[in-house]
Amino acid sequence: MTDASHTAAVSEPGWVQHVIWWHVYPLGFVGAHPADPPPSPDEHRLLRIVDWLDHAIELGASGLALGPIFSSRTHGYDTTDHLRIDPRLGDDDDFGTLVVEAHRRGLRILLDGVFNHVGTDFAHTEWLRTRGDRVDVFEGHGDLVALDHGNPAVADYVVDVMTRWLRRGADGWRLDAAYAVDDRFWAEVLPRVREQFPDAYFLAEIIHGDYAQRVRSSGFDSVTQYELWKAAWSALNDGNFHELDWALVRHNEFLDTFVPTTFVGNHDVTRIASRLDDIRHLEHALVLQMTTGGTPSVYAGDEFGYRGIKEERFGGDDAVRPEFATPPLDVDEHGADVFRLHKFLIGLRRRHAWLHTARTSPLLLTNRQYVYQSRAGSEALIVALNIAEEPLAISLPHLGFDRGEVLAGSGAPPSEVVTTYEVGPHGWLIIAPH
């Protein structure tokens, strides 16, 4: 692969290369949902997130990715008015304060736009999609009614919503359930927004399918990389690094078109600490995320090793969307260790910004031992993941390198220059080859 291929074919705003998102689900984070009775606007709960911005900076994040903050009936994804802050969170001034405080710290802001469907109290019933004499619903959810994306008024409305909040200081949009909307709608809407805000960023929630084709036909900047998320925990649980290697082959192909958004947790899935069968492999999942191409996102709480299982029932998301107290949190020793590892690996990532578009290639691959190279141009890192009961012996000359500097690892001294190294059982290693 030529060096030229190490830049994504589709342009994205330049600032995105350096972004690591800290992802917050506001309604849960501030205890506004579920809550009985719900908080009133004069409680200004959105400002509780401001109290956590210094934590985001300490973590190493450079962006704040917010879940829904607009008026809704329950969980935020049943929006009733995209132009009004949810009264359970506060008011318009509270949003202004959050923007000012985030930008003052150098944090970009990503808003969550739910434009595929709305809540049943949405005012513009003439904009809803119908099938016969019935209104279409989203994936069988009777309280989520689908917008008619073939109606020009809907496109005008979405452009108005996006540009209005970008004008207020947002830096981009996550497009919820973008996979359910015809790409022609996005191809019409996004250029109109970019005309006014050429530096805006658009991340699409796409769960499966042809990511690259969706990006090409819609104009998204990025897509949620669910394939790599699934392969990471599945390979670690099953002891099958061949699955992970195949997902990274696909990941490389995506990077030819766009830079995916990578994550090991979000507001819609079981937390990684609960998903993994062996908690020791939490480190491996994070090492993988922070040493491969993409725009990383850390879901609030994962940096402390939070647990939570998503269940397919009413209220089944609540366990992964908990309320956060005022910082700092009183975490146990394991939580403190997980936080330190996050800080270290995010710091390493930011010092090696070229990783944003890096491709990986396998150097050693068995079911439970995996050594790969992440490379962009002349820059490279060697990463070793070992989930076997026996050690993993690495010879850099055998892998095609003279020697390398140990940057990090489980029990590894940093800055040591080595030609061979033994990674302990269930250990990992990051080396800068010379």
| Same fold for the pair 16-357 and 360-433 | no
Class of domain 360-433: mainly beta
Q: Does 3 have pLDDT greater than 50?
A: no
pLDDT band for position 2 (cuts 50, 70, 90): very low
pLDDT reported for residue 288: 98
Average pLDDT of the chain to the nearest whole number: 95
Mean of pLDDT values over 420-426: 96
Evaluate whether 434 touches 401 at the Cβ level (below 8 Å). yes
Among the listed residues 102, 67, 62, 103, the one whose alpha carbon sits nearest the alpha carbon of residue 346: 62
pLDDT reported for residue 139: 86
Please name every residue paired with 130 in a beta bridge, in sequence order, or none if there are none: 135
pLDDT reported for residue 9: 46
Residue 235 neighbours by CB under 8 Å, 6+ apart? 241, 242, 243, 244, 247
pLDDT reported for residue 132: 87
* Domain map (residue ranges) of the chain: 16-357, 360-433
Mean of pLDDT values over 123-148: 92
Is the CATH number of domain 16-357 3.20.20.80? yes
Q: Does 316 have pLDDT greater than 80?
A: yes
pLDDT reported for residue 10: 54
Joined tokens for residue 64: 């704040």
Mean of pLDDT values over 318-347: 96
pLDDT reported for residue 141: 82
pLDDT reported for residue 6: 43
Joined tokens for residue 349: 């990532």
